Chains A and B, each alone.
Chain A
Amino acid sequence: MATHSRLYWAFSDSLTMIARSLRHITRNFELLFLTVVLPVFLLLLFVYVFGGVIDVGSAYVDYVVPGLILMCAGYGASMTTVTVAHDMVNGIVERFRSLPIVSSAMLTGHVVASLVRNMISVTLVVAVALLIGFGPTAGPLGWLAALGMIALYILAISWAAVALGLIAKTVEGANGFSFFILFIPYLSSAFVPAESLPSWLRPIAENQPITPTVEAVRGFLMGTPLGNSVWLSFAWCGGILLISVIGGTYLFKRRTSR
């Protein structure tokens, strides 16, 4: 039993937890819906329904895809908040804790599953977008950079979702928190240019993580000016990640050692 090193088991435990969380995707209709159906539905809705009335100076599908990807990541992450909260109020966390495993392996499982789920959504959205006229100008490097930005954003927001799930005392409460994550894309340049927002909203749109991340992804894919969006996005995502990892780990310890 103890023939392997600690590191081996830490890795193996995390993999087991990841496999568990990934299985949940296929078992939970809501998760599956939010991962597969909703992103594509939103894409079609934005492009064909709102796209006709929003003027962004170019094809709306080109404008909206990066923002939509980030919004879907928000939906995906909000489910993570709920699943984490569910685990915490369920006896299963007790069982995990009486095992000789790294206690944060459970959180790792949730985060990685969230990452995988969201990357599936991203792939689907991009594939459908390409079919309906999305025409990015990026080369392979541009794609890689854009995917990197998206992955970093998803990682940060997934950890934030985990932390929110640990703050919530009930599953319903977690649902409420996740509303917060879902709402911020609307107050950014994801769907309309920041300049077109009313002046009092503009400072909010310009000082939040979605706007620089969307601008950076758009810059890499469509060749629009990047400005300082990449660095701003790094700063936002890095900050959120740092606070959420530290806060989440602390909350998990506190919640489970009463």
Chain B
Amino acid sequence: MNDDVVIEATGVEKSYGRVRVLTGVDLRVEKGTIFSLLGPNGAGKTTMVRILATLIKADAGSVLVAGHDVARNPVRVRRSISLTGQYAAVDELLTGEENLRMMGRLYHLGRKAAWRRTDELLEAFDLVKASRRPVKTYSGGMRRRLDLAVSLMTRPPVLFLDEPTTGLDPRSRQAMWDVVRDLTVTGTTILLTTQYLEEADRLADRIAVIDHGKVVAQGTPDELKRQVASEYVELVLDDGENYDRALRGLGAAAVHTDPQLRSVSVASDGSPGGFRRILEWVEGQGLAVTRVRVKSPSMDDVFLALTDNPDKSTRSDSVSRKVGI
């Protein structure tokens, strides 16, 4: 195995009874990078994280984390990882300080080191004032921050964060991003899941989009955006009749359509020639267009293009249709 690859999963499968949650997931995460798992609710992100963090066993496939096989050597793996689950895992009856100190001891820090690190983390996560109160009196965001602080007790080489910023206000989210970025500077490898596409876009070095238990796309944020559509041109039609004609004329080339706004988007390679061809087509058809806008694809577009809504059965079709124009 390459020394720089810290997490390597191959063909990971997992079923619960008849429900096939993961159907062959491959991931490679390099040392000191931030890797984001993206996908709709129920895609299998949490399941994948739990397998990587040795909490559950995969039915098939192999997983190496920090050079050890999670199935054969979970104890070794646990020495190198830390996990913040999707739901806050702190002791409600203990105070914030007691939670941190306890976890420090359980991470096998010496007493003094655990106490010192507790103070640092309380400071870093803005919990000093609340540190002597039982956690059950904390707000949701405070709890989340404490939960994250606990994971950072030992500066583990590999950190798993399952939706770390869900429920955080913008300032806390920003602070969390700063903490995560700082960690990679010292070589920590981070795998996180998120529902915030902006977060994946700004934070992650690489993203894997999972849907229906499979990785449907993987790459840097820019690669993914380019894969889904290069730039596109949005046409806002004058009235319903023109809108219908534009739709009919474009057929499968219409990427986004919005009947309310009467807007139709057409993929374009971003070159002046491509732009001209679209305008010429509009003129040739005699369409009444009120506005033309050139747009770059966002992570939202990536997400919507690559993942499926549950009632659509031919997923591969929709992907190839949207990607292949």
Contacts and interface: CB of A to CB of B under 8 A. Distances in A.
Say if A and B assemble together: yes
Interface stretch (A8-16, A142-150, A213-221, A223-231): A8-16
B152 to A, nearest CB: 13
B89 A90 contact: yes
Interface of A: 1-2, 4, 9, 12-13, 16, 19-20, 23-24, 27-28, 90-92, 94-101, 256-258
B147 to A, nearest CB: 8
Contacts of A23: 93-94, 98
Interface size class of B (residues with CB under 8 A): 20 to 34
Contacts of B91: 20, 92
B306 interface: no
A241 to B, nearest CB: 27
Contacts, number: 69
B94 A91 contact: no
A100 B85 CA distance: 17
A20 B85 contact: no
The 10 closest A-B pairs by CB, nearest first: A91-B89, A95-B89, A27-B93, A98-B83, A91-B87, A100-B78, A16-B105, A92-B89, A100-B79, A24-B93
B19 interface: no
B89 to A, nearest CB: 3
Given A12-B105, A91-B87, 10 more contacts: A1-B109, A4-B108, A9-B108, A12-B108, A20-B94, A92-B89, A92-B90, A94-B85, A101-B106, A257-B56
Given A1-B108, A23-B98, A97 B55 contact: yes
Q: Which of A9, A96, A99 has the most CB of B within 10 A?
A: A99
Contact of A96 (B54, B56, B57, B106): B106
Given A23-B98, A27-B134, A99 B88 contact: no
Contacts of B107: 99-100
A94 B55 contact: yes
Interface in B71-86: 75, 78-79, 81-83, 85
B150 interface: yes
A9 B106 CA distance: 9
A107 B87 CA distance: 22
A17 B94 CA distance: 12
